Amino acid sequence: MSGTENGSGAVDVIIIGAGPAGAVAAYHLARAGRSVLVLERRSLPRFHVGESQVPYTAELVREMDLWPAILAAGYPVKRGAEFIFPNGDFRRTDFADQGEGRQPAVFQVERGHFDNLLIRHAVAAGAQLLERAVVDELFIEGERVVGVRYEHAGVVHEVRAGHLLDAGGRAAKTAKTFRTRRSIPWLQNVAVFRHYDGLDESANPGHEGDIQVGGHPDGWVWAIPIWSDVISIGAVMPATALRAAASAEEVLDEHISRVPRIVARLAGATPRRDLHVESDYCYFSDVVTGPGWTMAGDAGHFIDPIFSGGTFLAMLSGREAARAVDAILRGPEREEELQAAYACLYKTGYDTYTRLISAYYESDYRLGAYLHQRGFSIEGDPHFARILSGDFWSDNNPFGEWLRAQPRWDTFAPYERVTTCPVYPHIDALERAPVLPALI
């Protein structure tokens, strides 16, 4: 082996990808005293979709001692989400409705800036980062992944590791090598999006900092402020709608025009020239671990960004993968057990989130009325606010339990669900505790 570029030849953990999953995993592993090599195929910072966050993300950031840096960055504060229906009516969910003990607000971000902040924090904790390092091959001995070959600065390098953590997103090397990836047939859409400069939130008919999600007969539109004067606008639609349009720019402009509240918010804002298109982006992997390797974040699952949970799930899975990998390195005989537990947590979170999005599509972009018809009341309901904030595990949440009971939205093969929230386990425990009778 020619070794890593610091000449070691081997590390405890190789992480493919420096996005939120890889960066959070690198931070926690480095803090645990592990030698970590992060291989990122692009240079940083880099553009990425997924600017809106859910409140549970804030807890993960606090846990990493990054909250002061987040405040200093000047990201817009997000306290709620506005959903606009095809008939022009709208409803807002206030995250404060979750109840005491849970974070009532979060932030919107420019992903390139935020992702760079996360990975630099991991480097400061002791992780080694190589940018523009492309993994060409996994080294497999028997059935076990034991290292990788990668190219960096025109030179091919080989490095061994005790464990490989694949956080490479759509380009995940393990997904391609082991052919784990499957499509989600009822969620095959395309997204067209760009940023606008000159945002003036005084023109916003809703609440400053909120995400807006506007449904119409042919798809939905998002509006996410990412700086005080910059907003991300995107349109999600069936691929047929994009193919029928004269251009991606034309279909984006036309779909925006269908949501007057977003049009009003854009008053005076100027679109940037760069236009982005993402297609066929919904997928999952039924297998997310194997001998010597573990997937985290988008490597194993990616879904529509409607409810802003993607970055949170990536960060949460990065944290949990790091904990599992560290435990595996301390007790290799427990690898299968620890990976099984991690896989169940990963699948529970992504499965519940996918079901929430599936319900939104099935409702024809009228989720509130759809749930009301099924016996739920969402007005000020703490459980509804919680599931929009990241509560994708707790069986204390009736919305989550109903979503998980719908067989038409099954993706993963049967697995053992995790029923306690990994972000607020202490609150889960308190809510499960029996109420003692008052003493007279």
We find that the CATH architecture of domain 1-75+110-182+281-359+393-428 is 3-Layer(bba) Sandwich (3.50)
Q: Residues in the chain, how many?
A: 440
Q: What is the pTM of this model?
A: 0.95
What is d(CA 387, CA 381) in angstroms, rounded to the nearest whole number?
10
Instruction: Give the residues across from 38 on adjacent strands.
Output: 15, 129
So what's the pLDDT on residue 4? 57
pLDDT at 281 over 90: no
CA 324, 357, 305, 278 dihedral sign is positive
**What residue ranges of the chain are covered by domains with CATH 3.30.9.100?**
77-105+189-279
**What residue ranges of the chain are covered by domains with CATH 3.50.50.60?**
1-75+110-182+281-359+393-428
So what's the pLDDT on residue 5? 58
So what's the pLDDT on residue 279? 80
pLDDT-derived band at 194 (thresholds 50, 70, 90) equals very high
CA distances from 89 to 94, 190, 216, 279, 424 (A): 17, 25, 11, 29, 34
What is d(CA 378, CA 388) in angstroms, rounded to the nearest whole number?
11
Q: Residues of the chain with pLDDT > 70: what percent?
A: 96
pLDDT at 125 over 90: yes
pLDDT-derived band at 188 (thresholds 50, 70, 90) equals confident
Q: Give the closest residue to 299 by CA, choosing from 149, 173, 209, 116.
A: 173
CATH, range 77-105+189-279: 3.30.9.100
So what's the pLDDT on residue 1? 35
CA 327 to centroid of chain Cα atoms:
24
Residues contacting residue 288 through CB under 8 Å, at least 6 positions apart: 180, 294, 295, 299, 300, 342, 343, 346, 347
Tens-place pLDDT, residues 216-268:
999 999 999 999 999 999 999 998 999 999 999 999 999 999 999 999 999 99
Tens-place pLDDT, residues 13-24:
999 999 999 999
What is d(CA 62, CA 435) in angstroms, rounded to the nearest whole number?
31
Which letter does DSSP use for residue 378 in this model? -
So what's the pLDDT on residue 438? 60
- Give the other-Cβ count within 10 Å of 408's Cβ: 8
What is d(CA 318, CA 182) in angstroms, rounded to the nearest whole number?
21
The residue-averaged pLDDT of 192-212 equals 97
pLDDT at 72 over 50: yes
What is d(CA 172, CA 176) in angstroms, rounded to the nearest whole number?
7
Q: Give the closest residue to 17 by CA, choosing from 225, 169, 136.
A: 169
pLDDT-derived band at 2 (thresholds 50, 70, 90) equals very low
